[in-house]
Structure 1
């Protein structure tokens, strides 16, 4: 898909590249789809990759969206912690997906117009203890609860850490190797912050973990990893500080300055102020005054 704004600074995560953008992405995604649905789709099946302006994350494409088998499948990968607000984020996301794939006139027809069935998944690979599988519901966020909510959206969170031994890792080799890759990266980063990514990539190649992919794109992968982990570290620091002494007062002066600089950059690029506030921890008023 041609990018409308050449100044955009979004980057693919390794997950999004492996399952959504790389030349092996179709094969990898079909393997994952078959593991999730117990089907046997092959490479000759009709598959449409759908990519939107990013709204799940502030500066990363961590999501993969496909139209296949009369379904809209939306996948997202989390680097460290589960965000309980993912159902709401997916709600925003899928509404825009439908705008892209459906004829805008269809909703005015008298007859019922069928739409692809949506499915939402998050693949968790962080270090915090988390169940093998969990369902997040949009209705859990409603201020008033009813027995049958008028609007619902569910997200299946799958823990792909090897110690949880989820069966999907046995059924989908690309996802299993990706999990091993993340584990290897984490191990080497703890031993060597400067050369950890490079050593992890080399170990995976030596052990036939995503070997062909990493041999083709080792430098690109390391650049993606550097950006991902820098972003994840920033978010983790902000969460830790805000949890301790409040979101507005919890940022240190240095972190606050960085948040202001980030917000100003996103504002210049035309991002929605509410989204910038959500990603940086600043108030909308502060961002409006930048």
Structure 2
């Protein structure tokens, strides 16, 4: 597996539902499953993309302008972030800045704007409910019966064993979920060839077959980037703790290094790289 880097690369989720030549069809299938509609290829659809180099926090987000709505999607393959409503609030503000004329905010009459909807699809390995709702108001320090600002995020667990209804009504999402499961299973069996073997198996089993036949090399690169990104986040958190240590806040620093090392060991990073990044000795890492 390659060393981690901080240059943005699309995830398979973003490519499949947002960038690929068939992304429009895949997204429409997902939209119809979410709204019980039957929109077809003739539907007007505009992809909204924020410059990812500037906003790495939104690397795994997709947004479309459709049917008078902004549909924002995000995928999580690790623990759900309880702060997603706040993150989507910041994301939505930038999307509206992109699609609205700056002068519209000063108009005398009311200027209508697309209605936003926010969705998170979770397919991580930790136990999580089939569906839940996150609200921005839950983060407010002062509780109010009628919050003056609210943002609601719908979270769906799309792991296949959860039996979510949407997997039965949206074939592209179902196949994507099965693909992710295959990747994880093959990585556990063979860390060096797991990605390649998972792609091969899915093609044989008619899971994302056409997509993988066209883009197997690109998918390999995206998968490597996705798994590197998870380690990179752990590294960045460790760096933040080191800065805090220099400022006199030392609690948890050593434990954070151990947690980062555990994450990298699980992803089969070389021992020398782990020691270099965390600052731990070989003996300390080998004891984990």
3-state SS of paired residue (2:64): strand
- CA distance in 1 between partners of 2:86 and 2:57 (Å): 18
Closer, same or farther: CA 147–60 of 1 in aligned 2, 3 Å: closer
Closer, same or farther: CA 56–162 of 1 in aligned 2, 3 Å: farther
- CA distance in 2 between partners of 1:247 and 1:28 (Å): 44
Matched, 1:181 2:179: yes
Matches within 5 A, 1:104-115: 104-115=102-113
Give the CA deviation at 1:186.
0.5
Q: Which has the higher contact order (CA 8 A, sep 6+)?
A: 2
Which residue among 114, 117, 127 is the counterpart of 1:116?
114
Which residue among 2, 14, 17 is the counterpart of 1:16?
14
CA-to-partner distance for each residue in 1:75-97, whole Å, 9 max, x for gaps? 00011110001100000000010
Give the CA deviation at 1:9.
2.6
Which residue among 256, 270, 285 is the counterpart of 1:251?
256
For structure 2, the 5+ residue unaligned runs are: 1-5, 242-249, 262-288
Matched, 1:30 2:28: yes
Relative to structure 2, which stretch is displaced further, 151-160 or 226-235?
226-235
CA contact (8 A) 1:56 1:89 kept: no
Matched, 1:46 2:44: yes
Matches within 5 A, 1:123-272: 123-235=121-233, 246=251, 248-252=253-257
CA radius of gyration, larger in: 2
Give the CA deviation at 1:223.
0.7
CA contact (8 A) 2:7 2:53 kept: no
Closer, same or farther: CA 173–72 of 1 in aligned 2, 3 Å: same
For structure 1, the 5+ residue unaligned runs are: 1-7, 257-290
Taking structure 2 as the reference length, the TM-score comes to: 0.80
Closer, same or farther: CA 161–236 of 1 in aligned 2, 3 Å: farther
2:76 maps to which residue?
Answer: 78
3-state SS of paired residue (2:71): strand
CA contact (8 A) 2:63 2:72 kept: yes
Taking structure 1 as the reference length, the TM-score comes to: 0.79
- CA distance in 2 between partners of 1:125 and 1:102 (Å): 34
- CA distance in 2 between partners of 1:157 and 1:56 (Å): 26
Aligned residues: 247
CA-to-partner distance for each residue in 1:3-36, whole Å, 9 max, x for gaps? xxxxx93110000000000001000000000000
- CA distance in 2 between partners of 1:109 and 1:45 (Å): 30
- CA distance in 2 between partners of 1:138 and 1:59 (Å): 18
- CA distance in 1 between partners of 2:146 and 2:59 (Å): 34
CA contact (8 A) 1:201 1:218 kept: yes
- CA distance in 1 between partners of 2:253 and 2:161 (Å): 37
Give the CA deviation at 1:249.
5.0
Give the CA deviation at 1:61.
2.6
3-state SS of paired residue (2:102): coil
